[in-house]
Amino acid sequence: MSGSLIEPSRRAPAFQLPDQNGKNHRLSEYRGQRVVLYFYPEDDTEGCTIEAGEFRDAAADFRKAGAVVLGVSPDSSESHCRFADKYDLNFTLLADLPGKNGVPKMCDKYGVWTLKRMFGRTYMGVVRTTYVIGASGKVEHRFDRVRVKGHAAQVLAALRGESGPKPSPRTKS
């Protein structure tokens, strides 16, 4: 992993990325409201679809909690558009395309671009992580190595200040 995870109470790194429709978004545009920034590996895969569906189905609850949901992956705007259309996603997906060095800049800034292992293969990719960024631009909560089922409810509970399962600490593997 190149970048480090952002600790709660630290300022969230600025970003500017295009969404599924090609419109650019900056973190500064969301100043004054809470942002649920969730990083996921790839559009239209099983886990990512389940996670996106949970955020979609809870959209009204996130609005009531005063939060906007932004999904981020290294997929293109075109891929995001197909994914959003196929599953009727009602929130913004940001395209963090890898640069010339093969690293997606925002994923790196937020510490979610890391070495992964699967089926004996080692590769760099996104580790599923969610940040809740407060109205002032500081990280309020971080959820590491997210399990997709029930994750949206866990994030909503944190937004509401409810006690429940705490985000797990990041462990090195």
Number of CB atoms found within 10 A of residue 169's CB: 8
pLDDT tens, position by position, 18-76: 999 999 999 999 999 999 999 999 999 999 999 999 999 999 999 999 999 999 999 99
Task: Give the model's pLDDT for residue 145.
Answer: 87
From residue 156, how far is each of 21, 110, 133, 151 by CA, in Å? 26, 21, 13, 9
Determine contact, residues 12/136, Cβ cutoff 8 Å. Answer: no
Taking the domains of the chain in order of start, what are their residue ranges? Answer: 16-160
pLDDT tens, position by position, 100-145: 999 999 999 999 999 888 888 998 999 999 999 999 999 999 999 8
Task: Give the model's pLDDT for residue 36.
Answer: 98
Note the helical H segments in 10-76: 46-57, 59-64
Protein fold of 16-160: Glutaredoxin (3.40.30)
pLDDT tens, position by position, 74-85: 999 999 999 999
Determine contact, residues 8/142, Cβ cutoff 8 Å. Answer: yes
pLDDT tens, position by position, 5-24: 999 999 999 999 999 999 99
Proportion of the chain above pLDDT 70, given as a percent: 92
Closest CA to 110 of 79, 152, 142, 137: 142
Residues involved in catalysis: 48
Task: Give the model's pLDDT for residue 117.
Answer: 87
Task: Give the model's pLDDT for residue 123.
Answer: 87
User: Could you tell me the pTM of the whole model?
Assistant: 0.90
pLDDT tens, position by position, 137-172: 999 999 998 999 999 999 999 999 875 444 444 433
Task: Give the model's pLDDT for residue 104.
Answer: 96
Specify the residue for token string 């990041």. Answer: 170
